Structure 1
């Protein structure tokens, strides 16, 4: 639970307790007394809470379903757009310090604060250790958008899941569209 969520929960609980106290005060007071009127006012504190709950439910109902993430089609042919020098960061844990094996690897390449979906391939029979610079071909999911940001000598970071795992730079752009 985030800090804001816990503060909101505390406020809701506090206002409901005040409203319950107001109901109790109203019940125990004489009709027409000031204490009964104060109890009535305290009971009205639950109204904003109910309004917020109803607004939250309406927003939940109206919220569109998240679209499937767009990515490379399974089994699609690899068409490289750039030749890059990539250095994957060495793992801090010896148990996770393993070779990068052959096959397709997907990631986001980040320039400044913009990320672009990409994939790269380690050739069959090849593998390399993290921390060593490798020259690899990269294919972008949307090359028309990505390539203007990945000109020769452009520096980038590699993002996989929620972690930056490597750094690199563009060596050259390849002639594929």
Structure 2
């Protein structure tokens, strides 16, 4: 125990003893006397200390283990496709956004009925995905154990990015 902790404990014990002494004096003092009023003030000395006592008791409670870190695609590492699908990008709401998707990684949620599954796909270097045209893509799920049973061959799904559905798709083949 550090010096500061032992001093705090000593102060708490002294102030609690003074408060108990004030309660005893107040019990035996006559009503309306100065002695009874001073004893009442001594009893109130426990109020600033009770916060420290409660904090100490809370510190003694067993703590839960921190929740596990969520799984992310960054932790998975290399791309491992779980299914091949035909994906058709929908036209955007604004004509200025009607441009093909460039090469790179794209993360989304694949939605069947009202269930969504985190997924990603890559557009290879030198290729573009045009809107309104079907493209065969390899897709990787974040949690394949949960997603694969729902994505059977021929199943239709929607691609959700943010709060917008940007594409429709159909499962061609599971891997």
Give me the TM-score of the superposition, normalised by structure 1.
0.58
The 2-side partners of 1:96 and 1:82 are apart by 28
**1:110 partnered with 2:111:** yes
The 1-side partners of 2:104 and 2:69 are apart by 24
The 2-side partners of 1:75 and 1:135 are apart by 23
The 1-side partners of 2:158 and 2:68 are apart by 26
Structure 2 partner of 1:97: 98
Unaligned stretches of 5+ residues in structure 1: 1-65
Structure 2 partner of 1:77: 78
Deviates more, 1:108-117 or 1:87-96: 87-96
The 1-side partners of 2:84 and 2:145 are apart by 16
The 2-side partners of 1:80 and 1:124 are apart by 17
Mapping of residues 1-177 of structure 1, within 5 Å: 70-73=71-74, 76-174=77-175
Q: Tell me the secondary structure at the aligned position of residue 149 of structure 1.
A: coil
> Who wins on radius of gyration, i.e. which is larger?
2
The 2-side partners of 1:127 and 1:75 are apart by 25
Q: Tell me the secondary structure at the aligned position of residue 166 of structure 1.
A: strand
RMSD across aligned positions (CA) = 2.0
The 2-side partners of 1:98 and 1:122 are apart by 14
Q: CA offset at residue 71 of structure 1?
A: 2.2
Q: CA offset at residue 127 of structure 1?
A: 0.6
Q: CA offset at residue 67 of structure 1?
A: 8.7
Structure 1 partner of 2:51: none
Q: Which runs of 4+ in 1 moved over 2 A?
A: 66-71
Distance of aligned partners of 1:117 and 1:75 in 2 relative to their CA distance in 1, 3 Å threshold: closer
Give me the TM-score of the superposition, normalised by structure 2.
0.59
The 2-side partners of 1:151 and 1:74 are apart by 26
Q: Tell me the secondary structure at the aligned position of residue 100 of structure 1.
A: coil
Unaligned stretches of 5+ residues in structure 2: 1-66
The 1-side partners of 2:162 and 2:87 are apart by 18
